[in-house]
Each structure stands twice: as C-alpha cells, then as structure tokens.
C-alpha cells in the first residue's frame, strides 16, 4: 500500500458551505439527497469510460478517497502543476462530484441506511447484474459478513435460491 493523504487537523471544524449544483445539472436541485459511491470522476474519454465502465478507466479513475482530481475538467485542477486537490470522501467538509457519479436518494430513506448500498451494496450488485443473474438461479455466497449479507439480500430480492458458504454456524 502507498502513502495516504489525510486532512490537516488544523482545518476549521466549523466551516460550512452552501449546497449548490452547476448550471448544467438537471437531475438534482438544492436540498436533494445525493449519494456518492467509490468514484467521483474519470477521464471520460477512454473506451471503458465511454461504455459506462468507468471503474475500469484505462487512464485513471478519481476515487472518493485519496485520489487527485488530475483532469482539466475537474474543479480545482491547476494547469501549471497538472494536478488537482486530493479527495477526502467522508472526511471532507464538502465534495464536488460530477452529476454522472451521484445518485439520487429518496427523502424517505434515511441517509445512514442508504450509505451501505453505495459501498458493499454496489460491490455485490454490479457483478450480479453484469453476469446476468436471473430469478430461479442458484447463488452461492462465501461468508456472511458485510458483503455477504448484501449479496444474500440482493440475491433473494432478485428471486434466486441463495446458499451461504461459511466456516461455522454462528451466523445461522
């Protein structure tokens, strides 16, 4: 593992900023709940990005945590140094996300309950969809931890026969 950049502890703790959206954003308005997964941007120009597979960006994805916004289209990009600000994800006071990387969260879903769907949830949902899981198929889930519990929930919701493979019966 490489070095990580963390926020400087001297940052003002009471800093606030207004929530706003850019003039070209039509799918969000001030006050809407938005969720951000593990990516906040990508090069947007390679074949994978153009085909909706930004997580496999051939150049560099900008992750929610500990990445640099290194593209000219990113807010805060410095053309002289060819770098942008570091992303701090949940440690941030504010976060700038391209509208294509933000998800609308209905107001009736508490944000603390939606958050796991943006991490463990998408980690297991994406391959289920990618590999075309269908109702009635059998799905084996290795372990019943954070990812496993999400996989079980999605598998059942998708109409699959779900089996959990585990080393013991303590979570039965």
58 lies in the same domain as 141: no
- Residue 74 pLDDT: 79
- In whole angstroms, give the CA distance from residue 151 to residue 127: 10
CATH number of the domain within which 22 lies: 3.90.180.10
Q: Give the range of the structural domain holding residue 156, as residue numbers without chain letter.
A: 119-172
Domain assignment present for residue 131? The answer is: yes
Number of structural domains the chain divides into: 2
Structure tokens at 171: 């979570």
Contacts of 101-105 with C-beta under 8 Å, sequence gap 24+, read 101/36, 101/37, 101/39, 101/40, 101/41, 101/54, 102/28, 102/34, 102/35, 102/36, 103/34, 103/35, 103/36, 103/37, 104/27, 104/28, 104/32, 104/33, 104/34, 104/35, 105/33, 105/34, 105/35
List the chain pLDDT tens, one digit each, 172 residues. Answer: 455 554 544 333 222 223 566 777 788 888 888 888 888 888 889 999 999 888 889 998 888 888 887 888 877 888 898 888 888 877 777 777 777 888 888 989 888 888 888 888 888 998 999 899 999 999 999 999 989 999 999 999 999 999 999 988 887 7
DSSP state of 105: E
DSSP state of 88: E
Domain assignment present for residue 114? The answer is: no
- Residue 131 pLDDT: 93
Domain assignment present for residue 98? The answer is: yes
Structure tokens at 149: 């519990």
100 lies in the same domain as 126: no
11 lies in the same domain as 79: yes
36 lies in the same domain as 94: yes
84 lies in the same domain as 126: no
65 lies in the same domain as 144: no
91 lies in the same domain as 125: no
162, 149 in Cβ contact below 8 A? Answer: no
105 lies in the same domain as 20: yes
- Residue 129 pLDDT: 93
User: Beta strands of the chain (E only): which ranges?
Assistant: 33-36, 39-41, 62-63, 65-68, 86-88, 102-105, 138-142, 161-165
67 lies in the same domain as 87: yes
142 lies in the same domain as 65: no
CATH number of the domain within which 132 lies: 3.40.50.720
5 lies in the same domain as 53: yes
21 lies in the same domain as 68: yes
- Residue 88 pLDDT: 81
């Amino acid at each position: 593992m490489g070095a990580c950049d963390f926020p400087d502890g001297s940052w003002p703790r009471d800093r606030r900023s207004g929530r706003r959206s850019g003039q070209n954003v039509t799918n969000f308005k001030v006050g809407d709940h938005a969720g951000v997964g593990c990516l906040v941007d990508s090069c947007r120009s390679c074949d994978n990005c153009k085909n909706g597979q930004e997580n496999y960006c051939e150049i560099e994805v900008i992750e929610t945590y500990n990445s640099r916004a290194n593209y000219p289209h990113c807010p805060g990009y410095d053309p002289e140094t060819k770098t942008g600000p570091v992303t701090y994800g949940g440690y941030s006071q504010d976060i700038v996300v391209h509208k294509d990387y933000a998800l609308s969260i209905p107001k009736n879903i508490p944000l603390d309950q939606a958050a796991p769907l943006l991490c463990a949830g998408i980690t297991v949902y994406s391959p289920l969809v990618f590999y075309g899981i269908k109702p009635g198929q059998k799905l084996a889930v290795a372990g019943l931890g954070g990812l496993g519990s999400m996989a079980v929930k999605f598998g059942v919701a998708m109409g699959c026969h779900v089996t959990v493979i585990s080393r013991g019966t303590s979570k039965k």
